[in-house]
Amino acid sequence: MSSLRMMGMIVGLLVLVTGCGPLIVGPSSPRPDVRIPASSAPGALVLDPSIRDAFVILDTGAVGEVNVTGWRTTLEAGFHNAFPGNGVAGGNRLELLKADLAFVPAILVVNHAGKPLGSKTIRARVHFRARLVDPSGEELGALEGNVWPRESAATFSGVTDNASKSVEVLYEALAAKLLTLPARAAP
């Protein structure tokens, strides 16, 4: 194959992969599969003020710029869908201190020298820090980590859905680890 034709294919692939503008993530309504007793469910969600509702994830070279809107809305919707009764008995609250959204390449396109040219597919990642506190403000437990959706997203379509699925995994992980802590006896 001629080098000119090869270069044309690479440029075409780059346009396909990186697109003509920023990716857009909008608000969504995640549906986590949480199976804990209503008595273990937190009664409220508190989002730290540092968690922004709208922001821009800068172009990394492997993943283009991503404009995010409605992030707090998405986190709140995921909480309410995970815990529909909002912990009728508990009174404990779940505090999300950090919920940083990022996109990482799932399939990276590289040139013959190994230099990244762009991503073929991407995955949302949420780096989170959360704690469960009782009505008096005493911390019952804390958890920090990263969660990813179970599948990749196409670069152009599906980024909102992929971010939503990462929020589903976030609440599922919190329910599995943090919300199943043994109850503390009252003093």
Using alpha carbons, select from 117, 106, 109, 111 the residue that is nearest to residue 154: 106
Of 81, 82, 96, nearest to 142 (Cα)? 96
What is the model's pTM? 0.81
pLDDT of residue 12: 39
List the chain residues with pLDDT less than 70.
1-20, 86-90, 154-156, 181-187
Instruction: Just give the CATH number of 3-177.
Output: 3.40.50
- Going from N- to C-terminal start, the domains of the chain cover 3-177
Give the full edge-to-edge strand order of the sheet including 55-57. 23-25, 66-68, 55-57
| Measured distance CA(67)–CA(85) in Å, rounded | 32
> Which pLDDT score, from 0 to 100, does residue 16 have?
40
pLDDT at 20: 53
Residues 6+ apart with CB under 8 A from 178: 94, 130, 131, 132, 141, 142, 143
Where does residue 160 rank: exposed (0-12), middle (13-18), buried (19+ CB within 10 A)? buried
The predicted pLDDT at position 185 comes to 42
